[in-house]
Amino acid sequence: MADSPYLLAIALFEQNGKRAMPLGGRSLPLDATQDEAGVPAQIARELALELLLRVWQRSDQGPLQRDAGSGSLLIAELGMEHLPEDLPVLKAAWLTTGDSAAFRSGLLAISSRCWSVSVAKFKPITFTALEASQTTEG
């Protein structure tokens, strides 16, 4: 893993019949505070909020629909070396095929850690570790 990992927020949705995958991220400081599950929660929350605000602004262009159910908002920790080559290949493949299971498998292959992000009414944001067994649809 690179000395300075990168924390990435990923949204998977459809709008006007087309798939979209906006991304947002930033370098993760080596001293970033992690919660009990190992999530750099404060930075992850900020990234998720920033990305969701961008997605919400896009709703002016038409209705949005999550493409991968509860796995439509992800946070991943990647080495910087994966950003210029591996991530664009994964993104292009998903935009073309819509195969969310293949995307999650590919993301897990290049990331050191990955979480889905969810929230329930009157509950805080929850980060759930994504594991290889969760890459099949269903």
Question: What are residue 20's DSSP bridge partners?
Answer: 13
Q: Read off the pLDDT of each residue in 132-136 and give the average, rounded to a whole number.
A: 56
Note whether residue 1 is domain-resident. Answer: no
Note whether residue 57 is domain-resident. Answer: yes
Note whether residue 138 is domain-resident. Answer: no
Q: How confident is residue 137, by pLDDT bands cut at 50, 70 and 90?
A: very low
Contact partners, residue 116, CB within 8 Å, separation at least 6: 70, 71, 73, 74, 127, 128, 130
pLDDT digits (tens, 9 = 90+) for 63-122: 999 998 888 999 999 999 999 999 999 999 999 999 999 999 999 999 989 999 999 999
Domain that holds residue 77: 6-131
Note whether residue 125 is domain-resident. Answer: yes
Note whether residue 137 is domain-resident. Answer: no
Note whether residue 136 is domain-resident. Answer: no
User: Structural domain tally of the chain?
Assistant: 1
